[in-house]
Amino acid sequence: LAKTTQPISMDSYEGQEVNITCSHNNIATNDYITWYQQFPSQGPRFIIQGYKTKVTNEVASLFIPADRKSSTLSLPRVSLSDTAVYYCLVADTGFQKLVFGTGTRLLVSP
Amino acid sequence: DTAVSQTPKYLVTQMGNDKSIKCEQNLGHDTMYWYKQDSKKFLKIMFSYNNKELIINETVPNRFSPKSPDKAHLNLHINSLELGDSAVYFCASSASRDRAYNSPLHFGNGTRLTVT
């Protein structure tokens, strides 16, 4: 399993764009990059997934450079409700033995 | 409608007891999982079932026994509970076990187990 490294915590203010970068130097050819969000007392919730270049949905954007050794989750104009832990994972096309690290704790202040 | 539901939400018990956690998903998914989140917030897979068949069994004490009566249910039974079993246990499901892409995990809201 490819390991990921992300900042332990980040602070932001309402209305700002937040970019959380994840390093995955040992990503394999078949691995996809997936991001989850977890609120206190809830299970992780899928946000976005990609393989290369850029992916955008109604919640976030995911930027993946050509070498795929890192990825950046971009949250546009965050609000207080975006305060959560964000996990970056890589997974291949096999069994989903996902390992969630400590994630990045994002705190959005007024 | 709750997609993945677990019961109970909280479970407080004494060492040596046996307890069960139930999980049900109404998403029509084929694969279900049990994850454990420890005090340091690491979330690790314990078991996975695909259509009632055990496909992943990580290094978990055999005091933990999953049971899947049908593909919509995956229960976790724990015997002889120990202090170190205190954690939050999450049930999850996914549409497919064979590919990670377009088959994200859907998690329940967890069961906080406290062993005293």
Nearest to B90 among A43, A92, A94 (CB): A43
pLDDT at A93: 57
Mutate to test the interface with A, among B5, B47, B59, B105 (most CBs of A within 10 A): B105
> Which of A46-50, A89-93, B1-5, B60-64 shows the lowest mean pLDDT across its residues?
A89-93
- Cβ of B56 within 8 Å of Cβ of A93? The answer is no
Residue A94 has pLDDT above 60, yes or no: no
pLDDT at B60: 87
- Cβ of A42 within 8 Å of Cβ of B109? The answer is yes
Where exactly are the structural domains of chain A?
9-109
- Is residue B48 within 8 A of residue B97, CB to CB? The reply is yes
pLDDT at A97: 64
Q: What domains are there in chain B, each with its CATH number?
A: 4-115 (2.60.40.10)
- Is residue B89 within 8 A of residue B101, CB to CB? The reply is no
- Rounded mean pLDDT of B16-35? 95
Collapsing DSSP to helix, strand or coil, A90 comes out as strand
Given the candidates 3.40.50.11900, 2.60.40.10, 2.60.40.420, 1.10.10.10, the CATH classification of the domain at A9-109 is 2.60.40.10
Which burial class, exposed, middle or buried, applies to B15 when counting CB atoms under 10 A from its CB (0-12, 13-18, 19+)? Answer: exposed
- Cβ of B43 within 8 Å of Cβ of A100? The answer is yes
Report the amino acid identity of residue B84. Answer: G
pLDDT at B65: 93
Task: List pLDDT tens digits, range B43-102.
Answer: 888 988 888 888 877 778 999 999 999 999 999 999 999 999 999 999 999 887 766 666
The two tokens of residue B61 are 């004490």
